[in-house]
Chains A and B, each alone.
Chain A
Amino acid sequence: MSDSDNASGGAVSADDVKKIARLSRLHVEAGRLQPLADDLNGILGWIEQLAEVDVEGVEPMTSAVDMAAPMRKDEISDGGMREAVLQNAPKADDGFFVVPRSVE
């Protein structure tokens, strides 16, 4: 996936799919890389028509109804519910989540 300012930078290759899958934390079987690349190219090719729209000077959409972002006091309003937080954990021990080792 080479950097490009231009959406029509080129078709997605099987290699690109492998990189996208890695970024997405998904595993794609070698045999599925090219069919997925074809799928993505179909979708991206169709999305390409957005390039026809004149968006010069147009602000990106932020909200449907104009509203100021609500402000509130920065104070603790919740907490002290360790049991509830851990209740759905695949693995928990002694009040902690148990996760695979990430530092050798």
Chain B
Amino acid sequence: MTDLTKLTLEAALGGMAKGEFSSVELTDAHIKACEAGGKLNAFITDTHELAREQAAASDARRVSLKKSGGEAGLLEGAPIGVKDLFCTEGVKTCAASKILGEFTPTYESTVTANMKADGMVMLGKLNLDEFAMGSSNETSAYGPSINPWRKDKDLVPGGSSGGSAAAVAADLCLGATATDTGGSIRQPAAFTGTVGIKPTYGRCSRWGTVAFASSLDQAGPIAKTVKDAAILLESMAGYDAKDSTSLNIDVPKWSGACGQSVKGLRVGIPAEYTVDGMPAEIQALWDKGVAMMKDAGAEIVPISLPHTKYALPAYYVVAPAEASSNLARYDGMRYGLRVDGKDLNDTYDRTRTAGFGDEVRRRIMIGTYVLSAGYYDAYYLRAQKVRSRIVEDFQNAWNSCDVILTPTTPSAAFPVGHKFSDPVQMYLNDIFTVTTNLAGLPGISVPAGLSADGLPLGLQLIGKALDEETVFKAASALEAAAGFTAKPEAWWA
């Protein structure tokens, strides 16, 4: 039998539907790959026994569905990895932070509940930057996940969804859930040669997902192909009354948009995304993307997004402000770590100081500062107004284009332990991705080529709010033209 872990999600679902192999066989193959992939440190918690049970139950469901003539779930029998930011009933969920300790939810996040209802088999909980704060997976209390594309030294898989990206790139799972607050799906996807989409804000319920910055956080998948990403997102998305920002609208059949012609589609190229010091190979990749879309019949339109340079500083006001508020709940009283002190306040201080890592503490303090008396208007309120300016930029752009093409990241994956001269240098990783979080728009990263060092590079497509359909259509055309088939050598196995 062929190696089942090399299949796409679409092919695996098709194979099970035709009875070529069972979910148990498919799941066993992936468990074997996970066991051999320990060096990647992609998982924080393995749930292999649970996965075997779920696979057996899925096979049984398929048999009874055959009898009754019913339709199989969207993810029926497919082994998937879940970022350890989604609460999973009875399975430890710690957001890669010591402060959550051995926290084991008694409930299921809406996103993973949707996927379970669709037949998902869960292989385990994937590594990430602590509370999803980081661009390299190195802030994880469980150590960084390693990029399967490692060359002579360990490389980061990106962040915060580094474990999700590494696991999909190394064929440990058919797809993975992820979340994106400033680029945490798209940057790791670009660093690992995988596809990652952040949908329109409100498409996926935030209920049961550990909160970082509530007005920016959005779940989405990391997958092997554009169509796989569409299938996963169809399962993850949907209205949920338990999240007041959840959009009460239908979930389209996005997989149907994949492969459609882009003839006449207007692709905007924003002048402001050519940034100082951008490596020549990133510009060259972008130029290649423009040429590919043109060859596919799209019309290329130069556009301007004049407030682009203010997106990252606005993000570093809004995100820490909301994080400092969200993370106030970790007080050591009701769940997670408690470090006893001489009184209540001392217990709070000791618990939070021991439980949070450096980067999380830094962001809590920035957030506390920008929200403190006398500074709220100058920082938070101004940043939210700048956000409105960024939204206006996009609204103006949509007068002349239907989708926007940019690089996903300003560089390829960097080495583990790379010293940035200061925190701002690290934050610059998100320069091309963060605008869509601020404006709430869908954005996808598609692998489009290799760097001079042989590392994957991604291109990003940004769409109008709720127009994931065009994003998938354009991404699928880009994927077909780029023909990215490179895989990392399996040095870990």
Contact = CB atoms under 8 A, between A and B. Distances in A.
Interface stretch (B5-13, B327-335, B403-411, B451-459): B327-335
Interface residues of B, number: 74
Interface residues of A, number: 56
B368 interface: yes
B47 interface: no
B288 interface: no
A97 to B, nearest CB: 6
Contacts of A49: 309-310, 313
Q: Which of A12, A25, A42 gathers most chain B CB within 10 Å?
A: A25
Given A7-B378, A21-B365, A61 B201 contact: no
A90 interface: yes
A101 B356 contact: no
A100 B247 contact: no
A47 B340 contact: no
Q: Which of B365, B383, B422 gathers most chain A CB within 10 Å?
A: B365
Contacts of A101: 343-344
A46 to B, nearest CB: 5
B202 A4 contact: no
A54 B200 CA distance: 27
Given A40-B369, A50-B317, A102-B343, 14 more contacts: A5-B374, A7-B378, A7-B382, A9-B375, A24-B361, A25-B349, A40-B365, A40-B366, A43-B424, A47-B316, A49-B310, A55-B385, A61-B438, A65-B201
22 contacts: A7-B378, A7-B382, A9-B374, A23-B368, A27-B350, A39-B423, A42-B424, A47-B317, A47-B379, A49-B313, A50-B313, A61-B438, A63-B201, A64-B391, A64-B440, A64-B441, A65-B247, A67-B248, A72-B241, A87-B106, A88-B106, A89-B333
Interface of B: 103-104, 106-107, 200-202, 241, 244-245, 247-248, 307, 309-310, 313-314, 316-317, 324, 328, 331-338, 340-341, 343-345, 347-350, 352-353, 356, 361-362, 364-366, 368-369, 372-375, 377-379, 381-389, 391, 422-424, 438-441, 465-466
